[in-house]
Structure 1
């Protein structure tokens, strides 16, 4: 199927999802997918020097200029965030968090925003811009699978050091929808629980199977649906959604953070010691055996959305033609596997955990 037709298919699919949601529930910032132009001014040299040891915030400002922006500077608190990219010496620029004064955001495109995650470029260079575009593409592919997923907004960000100690830097980044907004749009509530407070038998089997199949599709091993870093809120690279804050059944896991995947394949990737693989691009199924009866339905769900998923890749023009071909080939390899019942049995259902 030609690329323009695939792009039209995914556009129609995502638009259908978007307009099925009441307009009042859609934060303006994530109401479309066009690239925005941002200027962030901050004491960046100080922030970058402190980042490996601290996530303390710095006073900063953000300006949205160009189409859709109002060229107004809004005061924010800017914080380093994350763990691997921030603390392990693999990146020269950490992921960031933008903390807004909600009362000052009323009536603006930032209305309702509080703390937003900004995914930044690990190191300088076009190669790392493409890695960011690939990770953003993974989020958009999961949007095709289910509306119970984080939306993203691409951004071309100019970073300006207010003290003049760093040269102005322009990066391709993207913003991630706030977890509260994502939950509200799906008529759910985000659970605030610690690791192991939720058991696997309390997860919604269908939703958990879709997450597991997606993680397998993109070659992700850096996640968990019920456990996480001790002392930090559950779960590892995922959030949990439920009907209310106290519900402990039909819990829906929602994943995020897709850089350490075979689909993105960053040069700084660390292979998990507990899994015997020689390349991040080797897929390993991490689904739960209790959900094996959901595998056929999950496969059918993905197969029905194959063209829309591939259209997301084909439509990402921030990737070079070669990078798009490689990304598409990796995902097509997944579809070839799930189209073969014998390979599904050997690679998926027999490889379940627990």
Structure 2
């Protein structure tokens, strides 16, 4: 009991320190300091963007917005498509935005030279709602880890000018900060692509991420290969996982999302735990931490109740409630998480 008590106190202290640092660090960014959706306008040619497979070819345009005085303003930006699955299956491919050095000064984008713009897969309210749910997943992740990507909802007026007339769409979108900014806040460095052995990753943060992925029904990720996960590294410390891209989760439940064929599930709304086996003491502590945050997590969800139809919001809430029901049932917890983990020889007595 003494050992468990000591670890519990240490974990609690570490979480408090992490959350405190997170708050003070992230207050500096103008773009992400507000949760009020930002109104933006972009004119581009989606046919050219989708047709380009190069990671180095960008297409110049402008982002238009209203400044603090309510007057129309703009910043130059270079765009390219990103995301293999959405690029193949969606009309609107997610975009990478590169803002020239110095161009964002005294604008909402100051301090952000690189951003990801997440767009709905297709036109229509149902696809806009999926974007809202993916945005909500990012906000939920903020409640369980001090290491996360900041996001901001966008009311986007997008004109696709494939011809002289063009076509304009009203889309719900959100921007995601660059991983270099996340690393900078935490005085860390980013890890280039490549395999990372599980024992080199911070076990507490990895386990919290594993639980989070199970909570939102996400199986489309891998710490080892850095698939939909970025790794940060601080001097003399283990790697820190930062998760992103939640559109294939059961919580979002996009119509194009299907599980990998090697997984024992038929649809993404079925939960399947993909975490590495950790020692029982740490597993129980992380379980307790999530249970203690249940009201906080659900309260975070409630903040966005007005952004979804009532039936869809209740479905999202019930999906999270099912997760907490699993944690509260020792039989379900053992069957679906504790005994379902991926064995890698990391368990300590």
Assess if the C-alpha contact under 8 Å between 2:29 and 2:111 holds in 1. yes
The yes-or-no answer on 1:84 pairing with 2:73 is no
Alignment-derived partner of residue 24 in structure 2: 21
Secondary structure of the 1:149 match is: coil
Instruction: For residue 72 of structure 1, give the secondary structure of its aligned residue in structure 2.
Output: strand
Q: Which residue of 1 aligns with 2:216?
A: 218
State the partner residue of 1:344: 333
Does residue 206 in structure 1 map to residue 204 in structure 2? Answer: yes
Aligned residue in 2 for 1:195: 194
Moved more, 130-139 or 55-64: 55-64
1:270, CA displacement in angstroms? 2.1
- 1:165 CA displacement: 4.4
- Equivalent residue, structure 2, for 1:33: 35
- Asked if 1:93 corresponds to 2:99, the answer is no
- For 1:106, the equivalent position in structure 2 comes to 105
How far apart are the structure 2 equivalents of 1:280 and 1:338?
A: 20
- What whole-Å deviation, never above 9, does each CA across 1:208-247 have from its counterpart, x for those lacking one? 00000000000001000011xxxxxxx1001001114xx5
**Structure 1 residue 146 corresponds to structure 2 residue 107:** no
Partner secondary structure for residue 253 of structure 1: strand
- CA shift digits 1:88-110 (9 cap, x unpaired): xx211100111101222223321
1:156 is paired with a residue of what secondary structure?
strand
Q: CA deviation at 1:54?
A: 4.6
Match of 1:273 among 261, 278, 303: 261
Whether 1:303 and 2:291 are equivalent positions in the alignment is: yes
Q: Are 1:254 and 2:252 matched, yes or no?
A: no
Q: How far apart in 1 are the matches of 2:121 and 2:177?
A: 20
* Counterparts of residues 124-203 of structure 1 (less than 5 Å): 124-161=123-160, 164-192=164-192, 194-196=193-195, 198-203=196-201
SS in 2 for 1:20: helix
CA contact (8 A) 2:22 2:146 kept: no
Query: Does 2:282 match 1:294?
Result: yes
Structure 1 unaligned regions, length at least 5 = 1-12, 228-234
Any idea what SS the aligned residue of 2:290 has?
A: helix
How many Å separate the matches in 2 of 1:20 and 1:259?
A: 26
**What secondary structure is seen at the aligned counterpart in 2 of 1:104?**
coil
So what's the TM-score if we normalise by structure 1? 0.85
The CA distance in 2 between the partners of 1:172 and 1:17, in whole Å, is 31
Partner residue, 1:6: none
Q: Assess, with a 3 A threshold, how the Cα gap between structure 1 residues 309 and 27 changes in structure 2: closer, same or farther.
A: same
Match of 2:11 in 1: none
For these two proteins, the number of residue pairs brought into alignment is 323
Deviates more, 1:60-69 or 1:94-103: 60-69
2:12 is aligned to none
CA drift at 1:147 = 2.1
Separation in 1, partners of 2:194, 2:256: 27
Q: Among residues 208, 211, 227, which one is paired with 1:236 in the alignment?
A: 227
8 Å Cα contact 2:67/2:73 also seen in 1? no
CA displacement at 1:179 relative to structure 2: 1.0
Q: Distance in 2 between matches of 1:28 and 1:150?
A: 15
8 Å CA contact retained: 2:95, 2:118 = yes
What secondary structure sits across from 2:152 in the alignment? strand
The answer as to 2:283 corresponding to 1:283 is: no
Farther off after superposition, 69-78 or 305-314 = 69-78
Alpha carbons 1:80, 1:97 under 8 Å: kept = yes
Q: Are the equivalent residues in 2 in contact too, given 1:43–1:60 (CA < 8 A)? A: no
How far off its partner does 1:77 sit? 0.4
